[in-house]
Structure formats: structure tokens, C-alpha cells
């Protein structure tokens, strides 16, 4: 009995990746009509698709935002999530990378992602991000020079992305 439930669950999951029909009398076989996503991955789940579809709705219209804040808003907007808050963050990061590419990498399917230094407008996890003033920008440049020497902002950000696990050393 458990095998039938498992099979039904897998067939339901297959709908995310392909349009199919079951053919045959005694032994049902799967006939795939159209492939939507040729690579199977856990991220093809319904929760991932829901998260990805909400990224542009939630991302601040100024363009300044973070995957952490966006994932918190997305997670809190649903009454029931079958995944954890951390998983929604990972889905948001993956969705952002698919849609806009990784910072300093190739663009995504609809645009390009760029990292920029900014500050939070408040202390809570849902605080909006605002650009640095010219005075704060000058202070930032002086601190970079003092602590990192000739390193560029890009090098510092990429190193931080590796440390945070957002990209691998090879990608950096």
C-alpha cells in the first residue's frame, strides 16, 4: 500500500517537470508529451515555484533589497509552509540567481543582479535598505583602503559571498 502512495506522490511531483499521461492496461507506463524542466531537482518543488513567483512582487521597487528580507516576507505571507524558513531563504537565493544571475556573474533569464553597499532603515529583520549618502560613501572608501589596501569592492564582496556560502571558491 505504501508503494502506491509513493508512486502517486512521485507522479504528482512529475507534473512540475513534464506534461504526461499514463498508458497501458495492466502495467501503466508514463508517456511524456512535453518536458518543462529537463533536469530533476528538489528545487522544482511546488514550494520553490511559489517562492520564485513571489520574488518580484516582494523585492523593493528601488532595487535595493536582500534575499534574507525578501524570504522573510515571503515566508510570513503564507499561512502554511511545508518547508522551513531557511529553505524559503535558499529558494529565494536560487530564484534570484535564476532570474537575475549571481552578482558579478552571467545575467539571469530576466536581468542582472548587482551587489551594492547600503544600510538598513531600522534594526528588525524586515527593515528596508537605503543607499549610502555621499559622506557615508567616502567613509566606506576610507575604511576599505585602511583595512583592505588596494582590494576593490568587488574582491571584498566576492570573498564575503564565498564565506557566506553563496558561491563556491571555483565560482569566485
Q: Are 53 and 104 in the same domain?
A: yes
Q: Are 61 and 28 in the same domain?
A: no
Q: Are 105 and 87 in the same domain?
A: yes
C-alpha to C-alpha distances, 99 to 36, 56, 81, 110, nearest whole angstrom: 17, 9, 22, 5
**Quick check: is 123 in a domain?**
no
Q: How many helices (H) and strands (E) does the chain have?
A: 6, 4
**Quick check: is 122 in a domain?**
no
Per-residue model confidence (pLDDT) at position 38? 62
**Domain limits for position 105:** 42-112
Report helix, strand or coil for 79. Answer: coil
Q: Are 46 and 26 in the same domain?
A: no
Exposure of 110 by Cβ count < 10 A (0-12 exposed, 13-18 middle, 19+ buried)? exposed
Per-residue model confidence (pLDDT) at position 1? 45
Torsion, Cα of 26, 32, 37, 43 (10° steps): -10
Q: Are 82 and 108 in the same domain?
A: yes
Single out the residue of 93, 54, 98, 108 nearest to residue 77, CA to CA. Answer: 54
Per-residue model confidence (pLDDT) at position 41? 58
Of 112, 143, 165, the position where a domain reaches its end is 112
**Quick check: is 73 in a domain?**
yes
The residues of the chain scoring below 70 in pLDDT are: 1-2, 16, 36-44, 80, 172
Q: Are 57 and 90 in the same domain?
A: yes
**Quick check: is 158 in a domain?**
no
Q: Are 50 and 31 in the same domain?
A: no
**Quick check: is 121 in a domain?**
no
Q: Are 30 and 82 in the same domain?
A: no
Per-residue model confidence (pLDDT) at position 134? 92
Give the Cα separation of 28 and 37 in Å (integer): 23
Of 112, 129, 161, the position where a domain reaches its end is 112
Q: Are 57 and 102 in the same domain?
A: yes
Overall domain count for the chain: 2
**Quick check: is 171 in a domain?**
no
Give the Cα separation of 109 and 98 in Å (integer): 6
Predicted structure pTM score:
0.61
C-alpha to C-alpha distances, 82 to 85, 140, 154, nearest whole angstrom: 10, 41, 37
**Quick check: is 161 in a domain?**
no
Per-residue model confidence (pLDDT) at position 70? 92
Q: Are 16 and 75 in the same domain?
A: no
Amino acid at each position: 500500500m505504501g508503494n502506491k502512495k509513493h508512486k502517486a506522490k512521485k507522479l504528482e511531483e512529475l507534473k512540475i517537470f513534464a506534461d504526461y499521461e499514463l498508458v497501458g492496461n495492466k502495467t501503466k507506463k508514463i508517456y511524456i508529451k512535453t518536458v518543462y524542466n529537463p533536469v530533476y531537482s528538489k528545487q522544482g518543488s511546488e514550494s520553490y515555484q511559489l517562492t520564485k513567483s513571489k520574488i518580484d512582487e516582494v523585492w523593493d521597487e528601488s532595487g535595493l533589497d536582500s534575499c534574507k528580507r525578501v524570504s522573510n516576507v515571503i515566508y510570513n505571507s503564507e499561512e502554511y509552509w511545508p518547508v522551513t524558513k531557511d529553505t524559503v531563504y535558499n529558494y529565494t537565493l536560487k530564484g534570484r540567481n535564476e532570474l537575475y544571475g549571481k552578482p558579478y556573474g552571467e545575467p539571469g533569464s530576466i536581468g542582472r543582479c548587482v551587489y551594492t553597499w547600503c544600510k538598513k532603515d531600522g534594526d528588525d529583520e524586515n527593515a528596508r535598505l537605503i543607499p549610502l549618502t555621499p559622506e557615508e560613501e567616502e567613509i566606506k572608501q576610507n575604511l576599505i583602503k585602511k583595512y583592505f589596501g588596494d582590494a576593490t569592492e568587488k574582491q571584498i564582496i566576492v570573498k564575503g559571498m564565498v564565506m557566506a556560502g553563496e558561491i563556491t571558491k571555483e565560482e569566485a
